[in-house]
Amino acid sequence: MLLLHISDTHLGCSKPGKHRERELDFYEAFNEAIDIALKERVDVVIHTGDFFDEPRPAPQTYYYAYKSLEKLHSNGIEVLAIAGQHDQPKTSQLPPLKLLQELGVLKLLAQDKPETHIVKLRSNELGVVAIPYTSPALASSYLNSVKVPETKKRILMAHLLIKELNIPNAHASLAELRPENYSYVALGDYHIKYETVYRGVKVAYPGSTEAVNVLEAAYDRYVALVDLSGDEAVVNWVKLSTPRRWIVKEVNSFTELMQISTSFISVRNAKPPILYIKARKSLGVLDVEIVREFLNKLVNEKKILMYRVVREEEERKDKGVEVSLAEGYAETKLPALDQVVMNVLKDHRLAEFILMLIKSSGDENAVKILVEQALNDEDILNKMKSLVK
């Protein structure tokens, strides 16, 4: 039995900032993971939470998710998922993963409480204990309430942080997970690849498929191929090639930055990277204007996608929040049809919805996704009613 373990795909994310090219990066990385599953002919893909970046995904986010998952469905590969905190609406709104389940391209094993399942795959049965995200205070009760399935092969899927990571707000220790009850422990929520063996059982986080912020910039992105055919799980890591590079540089002055050769930026046939500069000293207004002009030139020449410059004391605060001294990015040029619709409607979100309907007109299931999304999106419904009037 061969599994592909992925997690924290954050579809719809456009960080840093709100950049269309960054949103596409997350879709592309997810699609690469799907292609790996097809190439390796896995029995099942397991996703351990934060499938979407927010619990009210935009229409285009559903569209890209469905198109990728449909490739697995048409090849007989199951997708099993649990909800992370980004997949859990704070109101009675329809959870986004349930819509994908209704369309038949994904099985949602746990949305807001632990569940136990026995899933029939094409090679064998797989027992799954599924634990969605919960607060650290409730994690122990979640773990104590689960019933371990009586199958030969069984796994634990959980969206939580283990205390062994030594980071704040951890949910549980490895001992509390009781790995000895499972063939493999598949975890999500931690965005950096991590694996260990506890009581003879492999425990792993594949990490996110794209870096969400600069704190994750130095790490490569992976998915885990998990072979359960033997007595012990064997994990093979597959590095993703599509994630965008981040280049992080520390400088003492903008004069020093100006003297740095830009040759390190250029990589043949690669996406223009994100440039993140940590400035060591306080800077004057004139210095900021000079460096902005220099970096904008790199953006215009497509040597970098975007840049951000922060002072050293501000950098410690920067977790995706804009606290920069200077920043900029390349504007994505829209195709002619897109530009016309944008100009006529003068509302970016409504225009995106209309464009997805137009482009999906030949795909009945894709249209169904968009209509379901509209029916559960008060903002889109009100805008459509106003447009009709």
Rounded Cα–Cα distance for residues 170 and 175 (Å): 13
Q: Which residue has the tokens 């009037």?
A: 389
Contact (CB, 8 A) for 50 and 84: yes
**Residue from 113, 117, 114 nearest 125 by CA:** 117
Q: Domain 2-239 adopts which CATH fold?
A: Purple Acid Phosphatase; chain A, domain 2 (3.60.21)
Give pLDDT, residue 333.
46
Buried b / exposed e across 246-268, counting CB within 10 Å, b at 16+? beeeebeebeebeeeeeeebeee
Query: What are the tens digits of pLDDT across the range 146-173?
Result: 999 999 999 999 999 999 999 988 999 9
Position 33 scores a pLDDT of 98
pLDDT of the residue at 125: 94
- Running DSSP on this structure, what letter comes out for residue 88? -
Which of 93, 127, 124, 125 minimizes the C-alpha distance to 111?
93
What is the per-residue pLDDT for 386?
A: 75
Q: Are 354 and 341 in contact, with CB atoms under 8 Å apart?
A: yes
| pLDDT, position 328 | 65
Neighbours of 100 (CB within 10 A): 22
Local confidence pLDDT in tens for the 389 residues of the chain: 999 999 999 999 998 877 889 999 999 999 999 999 999 999 999 999 999 999 999 999 999 999 999 999 999 999 999 999 999 998 778 899 999 999 999 999 999 999 999 999 988 899 999 999 999 999 999 999 999 999 999 999 999 999 999 998 899 999 999 999 999 999 999 999 999 999 999 999 999 999 999 999 999 999 999 999 999 999 999 999 999 999 888 877 766 776 665 656 666 668 899 988 887 665 555 466 777 888 888 888 888 899 888 876 555 554 444 344 556 665 444 455 666 666 667 677 777 777 777 766 666 776 777 777 777 777 777 877 776 65
> What whole-number distance in Å separates Cα of residue 353 and Cα of residue 1?
40
Assess contact for 301 and 265: CB atoms under 8 A: no
Rounded to the nearest integer, the mean pLDDT of the chain is 86
**Cα gap 223→337, rounded to integer Å:** 36
DSSP string, 109-146: EESSS-EEEEEE-SS-EEEEEEE----HHHHHHHHHH-
Backbone phi and psi for residue 211, each to the nearest 5 degrees, phi listed first? -70, 125
Residue 323 CB burial class (10 angstroms; 0-12, 13-18, ≥19)? middle
Tokens of 328: 């900029």
Centre a 10 Å sphere on the Cβ of residue 381 and count the other Cβ atoms it contains: 12
Q: What percent of the chain has pLDDT over 70?
A: 82
State the DSSP H helix or E strand holding residue 27, giving kind and residue range, or none if neither. Answer: helix 20-40
- Domain spans in the chain, listed from the N-terminal domain onward: 2-239, 246-329, 336-388
Report yes or no: 145 and 114 within 8 Å, Cβ to Cβ: yes
Pick from 261, 263, 290, 257: nearest CA to 276: 257
pLDDT at position 70 is 96
- Reported residue count of the chain is 389
